[in-house]
Amino acid sequence: MSAPLTPTPLSGAGFIAELSSLGQNVSRETFSGLETYAALLVKWQKAINLVSPDSLKDLWRRHFVDSAQLLPLLPNGDAPITDFGSGGGFPGLVLAILTQRQVHLIESDARKCAFLREVAHAAGIGPRVTVHNRRFDQLEAWPAPVITARACANLRELLDHVAPFIAPETVCLFLKGAKADDELTEAQRHWNMLLERRRSVTDSSGTILILKDLKRRDKP
């Protein structure tokens, strides 16, 4: 059996085309912010592990499109986004650049937080981005209308982390991999939820989970 073909790395122009296919237009100013982000990611990756090294070969697809595919799933309006386990800024910092929303980035690694702050400043969105250098359980929770996460924890653990931030109107957008079904089965033993699923546009085994009306079945 032949190995699966590796897609040709996506260029910045290809990123714009991909977003257009999602019904999203990218201004020159916004794209310039993303180019600044990409350059800083490559620079900082040499010192700290922000993303998988192999993924840098196709960072516009693996990280920028992967994050930006959440754009059409965001609720209408300008409700702020709270991104858990931000790491290198995906998806939260990409969404901050692509929207006018306030964004909270939660990351426990101080070096990654320094990177996130530098990108936000360099991309001209510093006033709209708050970086929280804390563990989840060290934060004083706030009602979060939109919660995002990618590669943060399995679903049940992730819901336990975000539980103090959940309000009646909260929408959770979680980028999950091939184990999404197993994670859902486990999580639904402990949580009631209104669930929608979308196939990832960047990963044939990936899934976007859209969760609303979250309520615990049991006590933590």
Is there a domain that residue 3 lies in?
no
Dist. CA 57–CA 180, nearest whole Å = 26
What local confidence, expressed as pLDDT, does residue 148 receive?
98
Residue 201 belongs to a domain: yes
DSSP the chain: -PPPPPPPPP-HHHHHHHHHHTT----HHHHHHHHHHHHHHHHHHTTS--S-GGGGGGHIIIIIIHHHTTGGGSPSS---EEEES-TTTTTHHHHHHHSS--EEEE-S-HHHHHHHHHHHHHTT-GGGEEEE-S-GGGS-----SEEEEESSS-HHHHHHHHGGG--TT-EEEEEE-TTHHHHHHHHTTTEEEEEEEEE-SS-TT-EEEEEEEEEESS--
Q: 4 in a domain, yes or no?
A: no
Q: What is the pLDDT of residue 1?
A: 47
Instruction: Report if residue 2 sits inside a domain.
Output: no
Record the pTM.
0.95
pLDDT score, position 5: 56
Using pLDDT thresholds of 50, 70 and 90, give the confidence band for residue 151. confident
Q: How many domains does the chain have?
A: 1
**Which residue range(s) make up the domain with 105?**
12-216
- CA dist 84 and 154 (Å) reads 13
Question: For all residues of the chain together, what is the average pLDDT?
Answer: 95
- Decide if pLDDT at 220 tops 60: no
What's the pLDDT tens digit per position in 21-53? 999 999 999 999 999 999 999 999 999 999 999
Domain annotation covers residue 1: no
List pLDDT tens digits, range 113-136: 999 999 999 999 999 999 999 999
Q: Is residue 33 part of a domain?
A: yes
Q: Determine, yes or no, domain membership for 6.
A: no
Residue range 168-192, pLDDT digits in tens:
999 999 999 999 999 999 999 999 9
Q: 139 pLDDT band (50/70/90 cuts)? A: very high
- Of the pLDDT bands very low, low, confident and very high (cuts 50, 70, 90), residue 2 is very low
Q: How far apart are CA 28 and CA 13, in angstroms?
A: 11
Q: Is the pLDDT of residue 147 over 50?
A: yes
In a domain, 146, yes or no: yes
**CATH (domain of 185):** 3.40.50.150
